[in-house]
Structure 1
Amino acid sequence: MDRLNFTLGNARDDLLRDGDDWDKFSRFWEDLPLDPYMGDGGTYRRRKHSLISYTVADGTVASIDQDGFLQSKEINRLNGGIVRRFEPADQALLDTSVFRRLLAHFVARIERSTPGGAPVPAVRRINVHQHRIVATEREAGNPTPEGIHRDGVEHIVMMLIARRDVTGGVSTLYDNTRSPVLAHTLKDPGDYIFLDDRTAMHSVSPVRVAPAAAEGYRDMFFLEFC
């Protein structure tokens, strides 16, 4: 698992053809509450988080009750080591056709990439994250304030929902020696990086408000396959 394993794509081109469905899906980023746990004191991140199960055979999705979200200090040196409790993703988002198609698509890709003979889980546990990073004239937004890191899961989907009136936000992938391998900017709605988290680390540069704008934002959707 030493070779960095990732792909780039656009979900709207790859598997989503109905623009109206995407519009309904993306509206769920309009009411994200403030993340109160930022170790750097920043007020630039808004988010929701849910843990779900996905039954591979029939596509059943169920929310898993949990007592907060915990990452170790080794994984997240800024915000790790404490239990963080976030408002869950709306059930209506989990019920959208876009969400269900995304799950089925990326689970199938993971299954195809699993070495022959390796056990394949019948039920997947998946972290669902919604982030909005806000940039203003007073404060830049920092998508990865913890710096270069891995998420400590199996696979990650990092997908752009929208970007408006911001510059920056360059995603960089690193091998396990922290040597940069790829610098890539997610620009269009649906652009994604699909990454085997065990083979790589990643970071994202700050986003700053564009000239002549008072505020801008970068909306992201993450699926973490545990």
Structure 2
Amino acid sequence: MLLRPAYTYPDQVATLLRQQGYAVLSPDGVGELAGCTRAELQALLPSWNGLPPDNYLKDGGRYRRRRHSCFVADGTALTLAPHRAHWQPVEYNALHGGMQRWFEPMLPEMVAQPAWTRLLQAMARVATDLRGPQPWYIEAHQFRIDTEGGIGRPTPEGAHRDGVDLVAVFLLARENIKGGETRVFQADGPAGQRFTLTEPWSVLLLDDARVIHETTPIQPVDGAGHRDTLVLTLRAKGFQGD
């Protein structure tokens, strides 16, 4: 049986992030926070069907496809940053840290949609509520984890932090899979929660300084399936690797 997350209201996000380090919003909550209709959010999804393979997986897997682009949110302005490598220190990603990983950028037609801008601006407002007003350096990752090889691993690096201020994990699709349970733990204690995101455009928000997180492997049900997510990380004072 899948354990459902406890959704919160948009106006309670900042309080919960301060109290427990994470919060989960329903699709309606995401729409309210970003000022988007469900149809506007759904219009972003077609590009997940054409993601190129992730060729950097050190476990030899072929189960992950992705695109990656970077943005800067400063007040009400959102700017597409020059394309850059994704880089993390080994302290935060023991499997793939220390590598410059160059992924294909997000498609211009998706980035140009007003819903995309409003979504990133909404996450910048959440980060500002958490850490105070300042420019936010946003890395955006489109992921598809598939089960064509039998098992797909959303977080092959295991339970981790990302080395940023705020992480947003949007669940966009679960097709013919089992598994994919989300687990959130205190970074400096034993307490934790587990649940499974199932509704398209529900989101897990994380204060990266306070919690670590992972998602369990997925397996196919009735043929190959996949799990699609959008992961946004927001960091003050520049992108990692600068």
TM-score, length-scaled by structure 1: 0.88
Distance 1:173 1:47, change over 3 A: same
SS at match of 1:113: helix
2:42 pairs, out of 8, 11, 23, with 23
Is 1:85 paired with 2:85?
Answer: no
Letter in 2 for 1:124: W
Identity %: 28
SS at match of 2:129: helix
CA distance in 1, matches of 2:189, 2:203: 21
Q: Structure 1 residue 102: deviation in Å? A: 1.5
Q: Give the total of aligned pairs.
A: 216
1:74-123 Cα offsets, whole Å, 9 max, x none, are 11111111111000111222222322221222222222334xxx5x21x3
Letter in 1 for 2:181: V
SS at match of 1:208: strand
Letter in 2 for 1:224: T
CA contact (8 A) 1:2 1:199 kept: no
TM-score, length-scaled by structure 2: 0.83
CA distance in 2, matches of 1:200, 1:81: 22
Structure 2 gap segments, 5+ residues each: 1-16, 236-242
Letter in 1 for 2:152: G
SS at match of 1:183: strand
Distance 1:65 1:161, change over 3 A: same
Counterpart position of 1:76: 93
1:133 pairs, out of 145, 148, 154, with 145
SS at match of 2:43: helix
When the two chains are superposed, the root-mean-square deviation of aligned CA atoms in Å is 2.0
Q: Structure 1 residue 2: deviation in Å? A: 9.4
Flag the structure with higher helix content.
2
Q: Structure 1 residue 145: deviation in Å? A: 0.4
Structure 1 gap segments, 5+ residues each: none
Distance 1:169 1:178, change over 3 A: farther
Q: How does 1:202-217 map to 2 (within 5 A)?
A: 202-210=213-221, 213-217=222-226
Is 1:8 paired with 2:24?
Answer: yes
Counterpart position of 1:222: 231
